[in-house]
Amino acid sequence: MNTFTEQFKRSLVIAEKNIKIYYSKGPVILFGLVFPLFLALAFYIGRNIPLKETLPGLIGMTTFFTATAVGPSIVPWETRSKTLEMLLSRPVAIGTIIVGDMLSSFIFGLIISVIPLALTLFWGIQPLNFIILLLGLIIATLCFAALSVLLSAYPPTDIPATSMMLSSLVKFPLVFLSGVFIPVAQLPYWGKAIASISPLTYFTDMVWKLFINNGFYPLALDFLALIAFTVVFTFATIKLHEKTLAKRLS
């Protein structure tokens, strides 16, 4: 237990270091703040749809893009600046570093994602259960943060732009296949099948259900799916980074 506690404290220190260094980086600002803002405006402006029906998509996009903005670039930046070697020379496990990177991505995503959630209360739009929605937001943000660090595992490059580009190739199709623009319940059979393999689908479905009671999956399944994706992404991230670590340091 003491070992776990010490390693988690070190993860928090790594997360604090990442926050100070990477939150102000250009790609993080662009993909984590500017791009979601303009995408949200394009999503809402000019559409004759009640605000309450656009909120699930807006919240889903905001959470997904902000929680995945930091993670893909941390390890390449650390590799290029040689700080990854410094970290590994300390009594820090690889899993500890990965968890620290995940936490820094998680915190960034959570801070930004609660803004549209708070605005719903300001606009007088009440979800069916705000506490459940907030809990779902926290789990989804952690899930997407784990995915973002996973996307930096391969290829083992020291060029942040390469990792950001490859992560975008994964993230953008997921947005269009995850019920952000069209509820999963309205998708054709093949669309539902494809959407079921995306973690964003279950979070967006959860938000649809909690705002307009129009979800496709049971609420419990949405939560279980997000938790399962988080566990799988975290385990896969640690294993992949362990395999690519030698190539990064060579």
| Residues 143-192 pLDDT 10s | 999 999 998 887 777 777 777 778 888 888 888 888 787 778 788 888 88
Give the pLDDT of residue 165.
Answer: 79
| pTM exceeding the 0.85 threshold for the entire prediction | yes
- The Cβ-side half-sphere exposure at 171, using a 13 Å CA radius, reads 30
Contact of 104 with 70, CB cutoff 8 Å:
yes
- pLDDT class of 31 with cuts at 50, 70, 90: confident
For residue 45, pLDDT over 70 is answered with no
What mean pLDDT comes out for the span 194-214?
89
CB-based burial, 97-133: b 16+ in 10 Å, e otherwise: bbbbbbbbbbbbbbebbbebbeebeeeeeebeeeeeb
For 123, the token pair is 């606009």
- pLDDT class of 100 with cuts at 50, 70, 90: very high
Residue 136, judged by CB atoms within 10 A of its CB (0-12, 13-18, 19+), counts as buried
Contact of 59 with 113, CB cutoff 8 Å:
yes
Give the pLDDT of residue 44.
Answer: 64
